[in-house]
A and B are shown apart, each in its own frame.
Chain A
Amino acid sequence: MSYDKAITVFSPNGQLLQVEYAMEAVNKGYCCVAVRGKDCIALGIEKATVSKLQDSRTLQKVLLIDENTCIAFAGLNADARILANMARVEAQSYRLSYEDAPTVDYIARYISSCQQKFTQKGGARPFGLSNFICGFDQLSRPRLFQTEPSGFCTEWKANAIGRNSKQVREFLEKNFAPDLNREDTLRLVTRALLESVEANTKNVDIAIISTEDRRVQFLGESDLQKAIDYVISLKK
């Protein structure tokens, strides 16, 4: 077992370079925006360009972890599958032991601790992913958490990860208002995402989870077009 290849060690000025490089990988990934509303969370996802021969259904950017929790990610797709699998097993294991669903923050902390472990492991690299973990807590309030390759886990009201995330985050800071209803949350997410992405239904996916219906619902083609048209009309 050679532990001297690709290890995450401190650099002379106190940085973990592998983790920083992982953040670079995240910033190259497709953009993902999340906004927490009063009783819902809306996700805006930049879709990868699908070649003609590819089946677009297999490109999943929002992964269901448990009945009331899902993750959206930016970065390496393959890493996301592994991390989601670990989270799913942990969710079921929690349910088996405690006969109750794990809370969103439990899952968020678990995922971030998985990511942190890989920054201290020999012979392995960190996950090249930032995740949004969305769900509802025991009081049915929507919660949005973000994790990073370093294993840092924080709660957000709205955020963006991936390409041009800085621009989108600045936009969100200017335009965010707390306790938005479903309609306004969707609009804010669409506007924010279209700061970074070209306005086209082929490039964009909007999803929403609300307190009443905890399943992830993607906006259909016509609703998506309406949302995009609304944003374009605002810009004029």
Chain B
Amino acid sequence: MDTVFGFVGKDFALVATDCGVAYSIMRFSDTEDKIMAVDDNKLFAMGGEIGDRLNFGEYIQKNIHLYTFRTGIKLNVREAANYTRSELAYAIRNGPYQVNLLIGGFDEEGPSLYWLDYLGTLQKLTRGAHGYGAYFVSGLPDNWFKPDLTLDEGIELVKKCINEVQTRFLMSQKNFVVKIVTKDGIRVI
């Protein structure tokens, strides 16, 4: 089960996912990047069924690009999140995508984080998580979160979260990918 978590800092949005890919009792890979850069200021951190994750992520990415070419305007994070939600909400009764995601982004409204799940739920949050890891990780940001986290404090918090999941979660999650969005774009930590 994929662990996805993220939070919002003073001038950045941070998302992290584990890198494991599992199939029945086997671990296929430890180096899967589950965070997709949909535009140069939005990160989609996705967890769930592999095929759905890839398919859905690319589908949304291309549609957002199409919108940019058609209209010459870039969607901001809130608009992109709402669009994604509408696709999930349509799909749930037609052929569901088993994807839960966190959308982290930075636009004129500042850094933001949106929590979406496969049923078509959308919520703007300052900190969120998906997957079994969420049960372990939710307490830490709740405790250490401040409204204007600096990047260094953010990275410290991420390390604590990753440590917690690796110590206590049943499945071994060796590697994590952490990416942030700031006004200067996307960076891998």
Residues in A neighbouring B69, C-beta threshold 8 A: 64-66, 88, 91-92
Shortest Cβ distance from residue A222 to the other chain B in the assembled complex, whole angstroms: 25
Roughly how many angstroms separate A235 CA and B80 CA in the complex, as a whole number? 54
Stretch with Cβ within 8 A of A (4 or more), from B16-24, B58-66, B137-145:
B58-66
Name the A residues within 8 Å of B93 (CB-CB): none
Point out the residues of chain B lying under 8 angstroms from A64, CB to CB.
69, 72
Rounded to whole Å, the gap between the CB of B19 and the closest CB of chain A is 21
What range describes how many residues of A lie at the interface? 10 to 19
Contacts of A200 in B (CB 8 A): none
Which residues does chain B contribute within 8 Å of A92, judged by CB atoms? 62-63, 65-66, 69
A88–B70 CB distance below 8 A: yes
Closest Cβ of chain B to A80, distance in Å, is: 13
Q: Is the interface of B mostly helix, strand, loop or mixed?
A: helix
Q: Give the complex CA separation of A65 and B66 in angstroms.
A: 9
Question: Which A82-104 residues sit within 8 Å CB-CB of chain B?
Answer: 85, 88-89, 91-93, 95-96, 99
In the docked arrangement, what's the CA distance between A93 and B66, Å? 9
In residues 58-81 of chain A, which contact B (Cβ within 8 Å)? Answer: 64-66
Residue of B whose beta carbon sits closest to that of A64: B69
Question: Closest CB-CB distance, A206 to chain B, in whole Å?
Answer: 20
Complex contacts, A85 vs chain B, CB 8 Å = 70
Give every chain A residue within 8 A of B70 (Cβ-Cβ): 85, 88
Cβ-closest chain B residue relative to A88: B69
- Docked Cα-Cα span, A96 to B65, in Å, equals 11
Contacts of B62 in A (CB 8 A): 92-93, 95-96
CA distance A26 to B62 in the complex (A): 33
Once the chains are docked, how many angstroms separate the CA of A89 from the CA of B63? 9
Residues B58-112 near A (CB distance < 8 A): 58-59, 62-63, 65-66, 69-70, 72
* Minimum CB distance partner of B65 in chain A: A92
Chain A proximity of B31: nearest CB distance (Å): 19
Please, which residues of chain B bring their CB within 8 A of the CB of A65? 69
A85 to B69 alpha-carbon distance, docked (Å): 9
Q: Specify which of B58, B63, B65, B69 lies most central, judged by the most chain A CB atoms within 10 Å of its CB.
A: B69
A residues contacting B by CB (< 8 A) are 64-66, 85, 88-89, 91-93, 95-96, 99
A64-B69, A88-B66, A92-B65 given; 7 more Cβ-contact pairs under 8 Å: A65-B69, A85-B70, A89-B66, A92-B69, A93-B62, A95-B62, A99-B58
- The 9 A-B pairs of least Cβ separation, nearest first, read A92-B62, A92-B66, A96-B62, A88-B69, A88-B70, A95-B62, A96-B58, A92-B65, A88-B66
Q: List 20 A-B contacts (CB under 8 A).
A: A64-B69, A64-B72, A65-B69, A85-B70, A88-B66, A88-B69, A88-B70, A89-B66, A91-B69, A92-B62, A92-B63, A92-B65, A92-B66, A92-B69, A93-B62, A95-B62, A95-B65, A96-B58, A96-B62, A99-B58
